[in-house]
Amino acid sequence: MSALSPTFPWAAGAKDEYRACPVTTLKVDMHTERLVIANAVMAVVCLVLGGIAALLIALTRWQAIHLLDALWFYRLLTLHGIDMLVAWIVFFEMAGLHFGSTVLLNARHAAPKLAWLGFILMTVGGLMANFVVLFDTNSIVTFTAYVPMKAHPLFYLSYILFAVGALIAVITFFINIVVAKREKRFEGSLPLVVFGLMTAAILATYTLLEGAAAIVPAFFWSLGLMDLDPGIYRNFFWGFGHPAQQVNLAAMVAIWYALAQMTVGIRPLNEKFSRLAFILYLFFINLGSAHHLLVDPGLTFGWKAVNTSYAMYLAVLGSMMHAFSIPAAMEVALRAKGYRKGLFGWLRNGPWNEPGFGALVMSMILFGWIGGVTGVTIGTEQINMLAHNTLRLPGHFHATVVGGTTTAFMGFTYYVIPLIFRKELKLKKWATWQPYVFGFGTMLVSLGMITSGLQGVSRRNWDITFSGAIPGTVNLTLAILGIGALIAVAGGIMYVTVVLVSILTGPRLEASSLLLTAGTHNPLLESTKLTDQQMEDKQNQPRGTLVLVFAFLVWFAVYYLTNWWLLGRTWFIR
């Protein structure tokens, strides 16, 4: 491969430096390996910081404990948002982008220096944000930092550094793909997982540009150099804030396909169907920034209705397509192995001990059944009046970003450790249980928040009960939130322990098998790929999945229509 001369100036100095992975037979570029390790380590550091904050703020909202004073509650709430919603997830995604654009294409990292520059900017920005919020009381402005609440200029600068760093890392993803294509490292289309990551990268690009449109003016405004309209800031901020979560969505779905292939050996039922679903994200998901502006002054019904519905719920359609195609592919793969009994025999016989499988299932359930359904409902223009800024909102996004994205990323980490860190995964039993513990805790957190929010409890509030407006039953639902948080934090500690023990102890060891608990079977090898006959066999068709998605639709309809009924009972307003 090194015989091919580089055709791009930025790739000129880069040396080809590979190792061959004995398990997957893929070539691992050494620059990529180091970049993935660095980004993954920073991701886990931010997860730990955000996790400590999560525990303390949850124990404050749990009325029976009410741990922190107001100042520290709001301070750690700000930190929690920055470290979790941005830092942990984006660092992990950058690791995924470096990995996807090189290893999965058998290609080299064509711009390692640029990638390191991005990493350093992100690290400096992330640490600076933590530092400013911890030591400057005026910068306790929460993650959204709505103008005209003025934080220290360094607060905005830290956002800018992080975002510019992320943008640079995303650009290296595109460079890698173009170079790999030019150098003929892969034939034909991108693999589906890389296609999904590409969707995430494109979404990330315009998301970060919109972030710049919000935060750069805020930075100059904080220095007293310009005026900034609070309504306009909100519009641009959410052009960044909500699509940033859609980047997570696209990356998570890509990881779902990867986990499904690694643990069950799926072959996508129909590449066109799955790719079309990603394309729908690409075109429509950015409109969702309106979700945060539905009860804002100054915007018309038409603008809100078109944007909040992603034109015609077309991005929701994309998610519903993945919600079918992934479990359906899993069903076909498991039926092809002989688990054909009844509608759900395949599911009972899934590799439940395999952490990647557990993480995949928990992630899909929490994301779809709780996160997706509640998100579409509270994102409905009129229903949003019942939900705006209540705990129903964090209830929704803890199901998507924590239950969905974070659980999937955690599950994926267990494969990164042997394949990229080249360390044996330790505490395998813990790894098996971790997705279930973490997922269950997150589910309780989410349900506690949603049921509290339904009773009117607002988010980002140190103590709502003393206002006397809120029924006493919230003490119960807030306790569910608190108990769930304890369980989820226990799951988080299990994750960090497994990761740390694995990478800090034991010698460097080439991986010997892909799966962690299920022997030496390797679904990534070409020879194990399902045949056309197996895919088309009548016995193997995903009938069980069709039942599951219809059950999902019924639950969706019940929850959605119940909310219209609730809205119809409140005061008249127009």
Partner 1 sequence: MLAPEQTWWKPMGRLEKTWLTVALVWCIFLTIMMPLWYFMGKQNVPTETYRTTPQDYAAKVNEFVATYQVGEENGVPIVAPPPGSDVYLRASTWQWYPILQLEKGKEYRLHVSSMDYNHGFSLQPVNINLQVVPGYDYVATITPTTTGEFTIVCNEYCFLGHHTMIGKIIVK
Separation between Cα atoms, residue 551 and residue 528, nearest integer Å:
32
Hey, which residues between 203 and 232 contact partner 1 (CB under 8 A)? 229-231
- Contact pick of 252, 360, 464, 479 for partner 1 (by CB under 8 A): 464
What is the DSSP annotation of 281-344? HHHHGGGGGGGGSTT-TT--HHHHHHHHTHHHHHHHHHHHHHHHHHHHHHHHHHHHTT--STTT
Nearer to partner 1, 338 or 471 (CB): 471
Nearer to partner 1, 74 or 173 (CB): 74
Sign of CA dihedral 58, 62, 68, 74: positive
Site string for partner 1, 317-356 (x = CB under 8 A): x--xx--xx--x----------------------------
- Contact pick of 28, 127, 386, 431 for partner 1 (by CB under 8 A): 386
Nearer to partner 1, 31 or 388 (CB): 388
End-to-end CA distance of the chain: 67
Size of the residue set binding partner 1 (CB under 8 A)? 101
Give the pair of three-digit tokens for residue 318.
Answer: 């994309």
Say whether residue 510 binds partner 1 (CB under 8 A): no
**Minimal distance, residue 225 CB to partner 1, in Å:** 19
**Minimal distance, residue 444 CB to partner 1, in Å:** 23
Q: Which amino acid is at 371?
A: G
Give the position of tokens 């949603």: 450
**Number of Cβ atoms within 10 Å of the Cβ of 468:** 5
Nearer to partner 1, 436 or 560 (CB): 560
Sign of CA dihedral 563, 568, 569, 574: positive
Give the pair of three-digit tokens for residue 364.
Answer: 């899909």
**H helices within 62-147, ranges in order?**
70-80, 89-102, 112-135
Residue partners of 225: CB distance under 8 A and separation at least 6: none
Could you tell me which residues are beta bridge partners of residue 339?
none
Q: Which amino acid is at 232?
A: I
**Minimal distance, residue 279 CB to partner 1, in Å:** 13
**Minimal distance, residue 135 CB to partner 1, in Å:** 16
**Minimal distance, residue 568 CB to partner 1, in Å:** 7
Separation between Cα atoms, residue 60 and residue 201, nearest integer Å:
37
Nearer to partner 1, 12 or 566 (CB): 566
**Minimal distance, residue 182 CB to partner 1, in Å:** 16
Site string for partner 1, 55-94 (x = CB under 8 A): ---------------xx--x--------------------
- Contact pick of 526, 538, 539, 565 for partner 1 (by CB under 8 A): 526
For 309, the 3-state DSSP assignment is coil
**Minimal distance, residue 262 CB to partner 1, in Å:** 7
Separation between Cα atoms, residue 554 and residue 543, nearest integer Å:
17
Say whether residue 471 binds partner 1 (CB under 8 A): yes
- Contact pick of 54, 79, 293, 334 for partner 1 (by CB under 8 A): 293
**Minimal distance, residue 432 CB to partner 1, in Å:** 22
Length of the chain: 574
- Contact pick of 5, 9, 15, 301 for partner 1 (by CB under 8 A): 301
Separation between Cα atoms, residue 190 and residue 196, nearest integer Å:
9
Hey, which residues between 441 and 460 contact partner 1 (CB under 8 A)? 455-456, 458-460
The answer to whether the CB of 49 falls within 8 A of the CB of 429 is no
Give the position of tokens 């993954």: 40
Hey, which residues between 533 and 562 contact partner 1 (CB under 8 A)? 541-543, 545-546, 549-550, 553, 556-557, 560
Give the position of tokens 């930190």: 79
**Residue 27: what are its φ and ψ, rounded to 5°?**
-90, 130
**Minimal distance, residue 9 CB to partner 1, in Å:** 28
Say whether residue 565 binds partner 1 (CB under 8 A): no
For 20, the 3-state DSSP assignment is strand
Look up residue 188 and give its DSSP letter. Answer: S
Say whether residue 571 binds partner 1 (CB under 8 A): yes
Separation between Cα atoms, residue 178 and residue 312, nearest integer Å:
33
**Minimal distance, residue 416 CB to partner 1, in Å:** 14
- Contact pick of 294, 326, 402, 444 for partner 1 (by CB under 8 A): 294
Sign of CA dihedral 409, 410, 414, 419: positive
| Segment (H or E) for 18 | strand 18-20
Could you tell me which residues are beta bridge partners of residue 190?
none
Nearer to partner 1, 84 or 488 (CB): 84
Site string for partner 1, 10-49 (x = CB under 8 A): ----------------------------------------
Hey, which residues between 411 and 440 contact partner 1 (CB under 8 A)? none
**Number of Cβ atoms within 10 Å of the Cβ of 257:** 23
Hey, which residues between 228 and 267 contact partner 1 (CB under 8 A)? 229-231, 234, 257-258, 261-262
